[in-house]
Amino acid sequence: MSAELRIAVVGAGMMGADHIARITERISGARVSAVVEPDAGRAADAAGHAPGAEVFARIEDALAAGAVDAVLIAVPGQFHEPVLRPALAAGIPILCEKPLTPDSASSWEVLQLEQQLDRPHIQVGFMRRFDDEYRALRELVASGEAGELLLVHAQHRNPSVPESYTQNMLINDSVVHEFDVVPWLAGSPIVSVEVKRPRRNSLAPERLSEPILVLMELESGAIVDVEMSVSIQFGYQVTTEAVFERGVARIGQPGGMQRFDAGTFRLAEHLSFTTRFAAAYDAQIQRWVDAVRRGDLVDGPNAWDGYLVALACEAGVTAMAEGGVVPVEAPPRPAFYA
Ligand SMILES: NC(=O)c1ccc[n+]([C@@H]2O[C@H](COP(=O)([O-])OP(=O)(O)OC[C@H]3O[C@@H](n4cnc5c(N)ncnc54)[C@H](O)[C@@H]3O)[C@@H](O)[C@H]2O)c1
Looking from the CA of residue 281, the nearest atom of ligand 1 is 1
Phi-psi region of 305 (alpha: psi -120 to 50; beta: other; left: phi over 0): alpha
Question: Cα of 13 to ligand 1 centre, how many Å?
Answer: 6
Average pLDDT, integer, range 172-190: 98
Residues with CB under 6 A from ligand 1: 10-16, 36-39, 42, 74-77, 79, 97-98, 125, 127, 273
Nearest CA to ligand 1 atom 6: 15
Hey, whose CA ends up nearest to atom 28 of ligand 1? 75
Q: How confident is the model at residue 187 (pLDDT cuts 50, 70, 90)?
A: very high
Residue 308 burial (CB count, 10 A): 22
Q: What is the CATH topology of the domain spanning 5-127+279-302? A: Rossmann fold (3.40.50)
Confidence (pTM): 0.96
CA distance linking residue 232 with residue 253, whole number of Å = 17
Cβ pair 26, 284 in contact under 8 A: no
pLDDT above 80 for 162: yes
Q: Residues with Cβ < 8 Å from 222, sequence gap 6 or more?
A: 148, 149, 150, 151, 152, 186, 188
CATH (residue range 129-276+311-327): 3.30.360.10
Task: Please say if the pLDDT value at position 2 is more than 90.
Answer: no
Report the nearest atom of ligand 1 relative to the CA of 18.
16
**Average pLDDT estimate for 191-209:** 98
pLDDT reported for residue 67: 85
Give whole-number Cα distances, 95 to 142, 309, 332, in Å. 27, 16, 24
Using most ligand atoms within 8 A of CB, pick from 18, 35, 55, 75 the residue to mutate for ligand 1: 75
- In the chain, the largest separation of any two C-alpha atoms, in whole Å, equals 65
Domain extents for the chain?
A: 5-127+279-302, 129-276+311-327
